[in-house]
Amino acid sequence: MRASRADLLIVLTSLVAEGCPQLALQLAQHWQQQGLKVELLCLRAEPTDLLPEFQALGIPIHRFHLGHGLARYPRLAWLSYQLCRRRRPQAVLSFPLGWHAFIALGARAAGVRRLCAHVGNLPPVWTGTAFRKFKLLVQLGRPFTHRLLCCSEYIRQATIRDFQVRPRETLTVYNACDLDRFQDLPRPVSPHTPPRVGMVARLEVHKDQPSLIRAAALLRDRGYPIEVRLIGEGSHRPQLEALIAELNLGNHVQLLGSRRDIPALLSQLDLFVFSARPDEGFGIALAEAMAAGMPIVATDVGACREVLDGGRCGLLVEPSNPAALAAGIQAVLADPKSAQTRAIAARQRASCHFSVATMATIYSQELGMSLSCPTLQRL
């Protein structure tokens, strides 16, 4: 008997427990509840953090072995063609940008009606030759890509400017988080002594945990110690460990690694800090803290400013400035009434703009889905 066809193929680089794979998991779960048949393609075998969650949904997972060198590109197009001919999806959603060009080429040759690509980060114009190659890939994919779905207006404007695509080829769709997981979390009855501050983010270069660590050292030296919990894993862990040791902060800063109990960890904090660099695209952890009604201090970069509605939903401070971050932390902890006002506004904004249902509805429209009927529209 011929296997039933897929309605939608989602493409991921890997199943690491971070932004895009988590978004894909939430979207897949939502679309399955709407009756759509979702399948997954992973371009790398490792990491597999989210594999149990996708398997629990019963989602078929395909993997490509692309090898190395320039041969990867035509091989990706050919394997995408073969997979789409076999599974016959009506639409493809690619989270890898750049690689999506060859996925789209193969998918469209196999008869797929629509392919959309997610744009989650600032175009890396500072990388020189690497960016020019990236830009070329985006340009190659334009004839085969229905829309570039940008996670914030900040990223959309940068995509139009730096990749030189037309505005109508792009659309802003805010990233989502599972709001239900962060509603009605218990809050500390009174601030901890010392105050407990946390940040959830990958330990990578586009985040800025070093500024938070240095801010903790400044506050300690002023006689205002805080306890910092850094939640997340990544390639910059050794550098952060070295910085903590250099500043003698072993008793003040904890690296908790990758955790799956984020709501419980947030409920133990007095303040959420999101220290990021200008290439931050959105910050799902920031949206989760907003949904939890947390007091927030964030760096005043484009994505954070947009997500926090210009500072209405959290205090914004100068980026890459440990002294400014330390002052912001101290100011918010010293004024709980103002912090609570912002936290209430943050929760309301998250409920309105960052739900999985909202994101899934817009994505489904761009992919040609009809969620009122569990089939894809024939376009």
Both tokens of 106, joined, read 């193969």
Q: How far apart are CA 280 and CA 275, in angstroms?
A: 10
CB 303 within 8 A of CB 283: yes
The vertex-260 CA angle with 257 and 266, nearest 5°, equals 85
Q: Is the predicted pLDDT of residue 110 greater than 50, yes or no?
A: yes
Percent of the chain whose pLDDT exceeds 70: 97
- Residues in CB range of 211: below 8 A, 6 or more apart: 275, 299, 319, 320, 321, 322, 325
Cα→Cα distances 64→32, 72, 137, Å: 24, 10, 19
Q: What is the pTM of this model?
A: 0.88
Q: Is the predicted pLDDT of residue 194 greater than 70, yes or no?
A: yes
The mean per-residue pLDDT over the stretch 40-69 comes to 92
- Residues in CB range of 261: below 8 A, 6 or more apart: none
Q: Is the predicted pLDDT of residue 112 greater than 80, yes or no?
A: yes
**What is the structure's pLDDT at 374?**
37
Lowest-pLDDT range, 4-18, 109-123, 131-145, 182-196? 182-196
Q: Is the predicted pLDDT of residue 376 greater than 70, yes or no?
A: no
Q: List the chain domain ranges.
A: 8-176+355-376, 180-353
State the DSSP code for 371: T
Q: How far apart are CA 297 and CA 248, in angstroms?
A: 24
Highest CATH level, class, for 180-353: alpha beta
Q: How far apart are CA 325 and CA 348, in angstroms?
A: 25
pLDDT band per the 50, 70, 90 thresholds, residue 205:
confident
**What is the structure's pLDDT at 3?**
57
The mean per-residue pLDDT over the stretch 217-225 comes to 96
The mean per-residue pLDDT over the stretch 273-283 comes to 92
CB 3 within 8 A of CB 32: no
**What is the structure's pLDDT at 377?**
35
Q: Do domains 8-176+355-376 and 180-353 have the same CATH topology?
A: yes
pLDDT band per the 50, 70, 90 thresholds, residue 339:
very high
| Sequence letter at residue 94 | S
**What is the structure's pLDDT at 373?**
38
Q: Is the predicted pLDDT of residue 323 greater than 50, yes or no?
A: yes
Q: How far apart are CA 260 and CA 278, in angstroms?
A: 27
State the chain's mean pLDDT as an integer: 92
Both tokens of 73, joined, read 């590109």
> Which fold would CATH assign to domain 8-176+355-376?
Rossmann fold (3.40.50)
Q: Is the predicted pLDDT of residue 4 greater than 80, yes or no?
A: no
**What is the structure's pLDDT at 288?**
94
More confident site: 375 or 43: 43
Lowest-pLDDT range, 219-233, 300-314, 363-377? 363-377
The mean per-residue pLDDT over the stretch 133-140 comes to 96
Minimal CA–CA distance to 196: which of 264, 272, 261? 272
What count of other Cβ atoms lies within 10 Å of the Cβ of residue 316?
20
* Most confident segment among 16-25, 176-185, 345-354: 345-354
**What is the structure's pLDDT at 2?**
47
In angstroms, the first-to-last Cα distance of the chain is 28
Question: Which tens digit of pLDDT belongs to each residue from 160-191?
Answer: 999 999 999 999 999 998 888 898 788 877 78
